[in-house]
Amino acid sequence: MTMSSDQNPLSLSLHPSPQKTIWAVGGGKGGTGKSFIAANLAIYLSSFESDVVLIDADLGGPNLHTFLGMNHSNLDLGHFFSNKIKKLKDTVVFTPFDGLRLIKGTDRTPFMANVNYYKKLKFIRHVKAFDAKRVIIDIGTGTSYNDIDFFILSNPGLLVINPEPTSIENTYYFLRTCIIRILKSHIEYHRFQDLVRRIAEDTEDHSRSIYGFLKAITAYNKSYAQILFKALENFKPCLITNKAKEDRDYLLGESMVDVIQKYLVVKVKYLGAVPYDENVPLSLKGLTPFLSSYADSKAAASLKDIAKKLLRQPE
């Protein structure tokens, strides 16, 4: 049994070479603008980088191509998951943007959201090996194992929230699920089997007590606790507020960072707020990508600012 906490227990991590970044956009609640953020970050990056790949891993309801102003294509992720195409890179389609390629989600294969564990690992392996400097994955709504794992394994995961109670509630639920997943996977990997039962009892039924659980582990075995602390320390998601309207909406992200640090024992970095822009639905209706059509808007400036902050992120 190894006692090192550097290895990721999920057998494959999405942490590639330092020159390559893989960002996953998620957050639990539907309609917050995850696909909008993912698509426009990718469009902006492709304006100065030549190898950006956008992957629509919203397996239950993909529509990233629409944000890029594209229609259906013959190739999509369904071909890879159903083994009709062996390599993920062969499902790539070109987009109207020079440096940007897309792996489209599938809307033709039913029940795609339920891909099994081995297919998920295969997908992660292929994403990691992908010949692209920037990979952005748009993950689905909800807290399925697939969504959570894509989010945890990216560097970093981007949480997109709206200044609405339902979005906040789902974000905290999503984060708690991520924390439990991280703790559980490390416990299983390091074979602290005697603790598995305890973590299930302590954190799933009373999900507010992550602090209490970690304290209990510290009392029980300090070296186990160190491994779990380190695992949580390595989980560094970022937060983006989308559709901000009032002054308090711009403060919300900073406030949530404080709440998360104090009560969920995880450090989150706040990247900024994207103001609400009524032209977003208009650009969607016209199948014209927002960043191209409204490049001088405040929302576009915020998106560019967020991308720059992400590129400055330490590994």
Partner 1 sequence: MAIKKIEEMDYYEILNLSQDASPQDIERAYYLGKATYRQGSLAHYSLLSERERWYILRKIEEAYQNLKDAEKRKSYNLKMSLKSSDKESRTRYRRSTQKLEIEDADEKKSLWRRIKFLLFSPKKK
CA atoms in the 13 A half-sphere facing the CB of 41? 31
Distance of alpha carbon 44 from the chain centroid = 18
Query: Least Å distance between CB 59 and partner 1?
Result: 27
Stretch that binds partner 1, among 43-51, 152-160, 196-204, 260-268 (CB under 8 A): 260-268
255 lies in the binding site for partner 1 (CB under 8 A): yes
- Residues belonging to the chain: 315
Which residues inside 123-142 make contact with partner 1, applying CB under 8 A?
Answer: none
In the complex, least distance from residue 239 CB atom to partner 1, rounded to whole angstroms: 11
List 256, 268, 273, 303, residue binding partner 1 (CB under 8 A): 256
Residues that bind partner 1 (rule: CB under 8 A) add up to a total of 28
100/122 Cα distance (integer angstroms): 23
Cα dihedral 219, 7, 171, 255 in deg (nearest 10) = 70
Residue 268 within binding range of partner 1, rule CB under 8 A: no
Told to check if 276 binds partner 1 by CB under 8 A, we report: no
Yes or no: say if 240 and 250 are a contact pair by the CB < 8 Å rule.
no
Alpha carbon distances (Å) from 256 to 169, 248, 307: 11, 12, 20
Q: Does 117 engage in binding with partner 1 (CB under 8 A)?
A: no
Q: State yes or no: residue 215 binds partner 1 (CB under 8 A).
A: yes
Would you state the structure tokens that stand for residue 237, as one six-digit string?
């998601």
Q: Is 97 in the site for partner 1 (CB under 8 A)?
A: no
All residues at 6 or more sequence positions from 127 whose CB lies less than 8 Å from its CB, including other chains: 14, 22, 55, 88, 135, 137
Span from 11-19, 56-64, 139-147, 169-177 in contact with partner 1 (CB under 8 A): 169-177
Q: Does 229 help bind partner 1 (rule: CB under 8 A)?
A: yes
Q: Which residue ranges make up the site for partner 1 (CB under 8 A)?
A: 163-165, 168-169, 172-173, 208, 211, 214-215, 229-230, 232-233, 248, 251-252, 254-256, 258-259, 261-265
